[in-house]
Amino acid sequence: MKKPSDYNKNVKIDLHIHSTASDGTLSPLEILNLAQSLNLGAISITDHDTIDGTKEALTIGIPPSLKFLTGVEISAYPPPSFSFPGSFHVLGYAINVDDSVLNQTLAILQEARKNRNPRIIELLNRMGIELSLSEIRKEIGECQLGRPHIAKQMIKKGFVQSISEAFDKYLAKGKPAYVDKYRVNCDRAIEVILDAGGIPVLAHPVLLKIKNDDVLEKLITSLKKMGLKGIEAYYPEHTPDLIARYTEIANRHGLLITGGTDFHGSNKPGINMGSGRGNFSVPYKLYEKLTTSLEIRD
């Protein structure tokens, strides 16, 4: 008889997807429909600092052919002794979406984002880039406004040609219209996810932009002590060598491996759900290992 893992050998998953609740362009319903039409085995909606998209998917109802993990991607500060230029994000999977501390923590992060956006607009205005939050809001409706939305409006008004140009010239860290946002400390992010019954995972390690192997090793050791349970080894920007390297690190530290495309719809051109830039895939067995770890813990 076939074991479930043999049966699911060719099934792909995508555990890193943004919806219109943050800065993706597809609604939770559209995400569920697309995942189904792509024959994905499992997905997770992991919006920046909000679980509204994940909650909406649960309310809509998950199609029987698809497995679904609740998710979130929290922007955090690295441990105090670490400093690196890239994005430090903690993914949380299989969280209880009704957990009150989780909801309160995310509400604080969303409030901070609201305070940050006018400051970005002001910096752009000062450089002669005339746009307003109200005109962006008219375009996007009630979702959580982030830098990709500002970038899109800059394209619309002819100030830049592409989202990447907007980031490279103005919006990325270190560029003239960059405004840092309030984050939670990583130990708190990990704790909040664990306390909500979830699995905390280090997102896209390549985007941390850590050059020194030794520093990455020390960071993982430190995060593991805080309760980290996994590393997102599969990511479109990870070469096969990097996937192997992060997998080896995860195995050595007794951490789970996850993966996803960081799909944002047209806010991240060229990245497709389930397949990244075309030849990327995340094996179904990673989803099985995640759920097995939840069962063991229960």
What Cα–Cα distance (Å) separates residue 180 from each residue in 161, 164, 206, 254, 274?
24, 19, 20, 33, 31
Residue from the set 17, 26, 90, 163 that interacts with ligand AMP by CB under 6 A = 163
Measured in whole angstroms, how far is the alpha carbon of residue 11 from the centre of its chain?
Answer: 22
Q: Which residues contact 181 (CB under 8 A, 6 or more apart)?
A: 75, 112, 113, 116
In the complex, least distance from residue 148 CB atom to ligand AMP, rounded to whole angstroms: 5
What Cα–Cα distance (Å) separates residue 5 from each residue in 72, 93, 94, 150, 244?
26, 21, 21, 43, 21
CA distance 67 to 4: 14
Q: Segment contacting ligand AMP (CB under 6 A): 3-11, 28-36, 126-134, 162-170?
A: 162-170
Element spanning 153, H or E: helix 147-156
CA distance 26 to 21: 9
Q: Is 146 in the site for ligand AMP (CB under 6 A)?
A: yes
Residue from the set 16, 67, 147, 229 that interacts with ligand AMP by CB under 6 A = 147
Q: Is 187 in the site for Fe ion (CB under 5 A)?
A: no
Q: Is 49 in the site for Zn ion (CB under 5 A)?
A: no
Residue from the set 14, 23, 49, 232 that interacts with Zn ion by CB under 5 A = 23
Binding residues among 11-30 for ligand AMP as defined by CB under 6 A: 23
How far is the first Cα of the chain from the last one, in angstroms, to the nearest whole number?
28
Q: Is 263 in the site for ligand AMP (CB under 6 A)?
A: no
Tell me whether residue 23 or residue 187 sits nearer to Zn ion (CB atom): 23
Q: Is 161 in the site for ligand AMP (CB under 6 A)?
A: no
Q: Is 268 in the site for ligand AMP (CB under 6 A)?
A: yes
Residue from the set 12, 202, 262, 284 that interacts with Fe ion by CB under 5 A = 262
Closest by Cα among 130, 149, 151, 131 to 140: 149
Q: Is 89 in the site for Fe ion (CB under 5 A)?
A: yes
In the complex, least distance from residue 163 CB atom to ligand AMP, rounded to whole angstroms: 5
Residue 12, contacted partner among ligand AMP, Zn ion, Fe ion, none, CB below 5-8 A by kind: none
What Cα–Cα distance (Å) separates residue 128 from each residue in 121, 124, 202?
11, 7, 38
CA distance 150 to 252: 41
In the complex, least distance from residue 23 CB atom to ligand AMP, rounded to whole angstroms: 6
Applying CB under 5 A, what is the total number of residues that bind Zn ion? 1
Q: Segment contacting ligand AMP (CB under 6 A): 57-65, 124-132, 146-154, 226-234?
A: 146-154
In the block, which residue shows the tokens 């996937």? 243
Backbone phi, psi, residue 102, to 5°: -60, -50
Residue 172, contacted partner among Fe ion, Zn ion, ligand AMP, none, CB below 5-8 A by kind: ligand AMP
Residue ranges that bind Fe ion, judged by CB under 5 A: 73, 89, 203, 262
Residues of this chain that interact with ligand AMP (CB under 6 A) are 23, 48, 146-148, 163-164, 167, 172, 264, 268
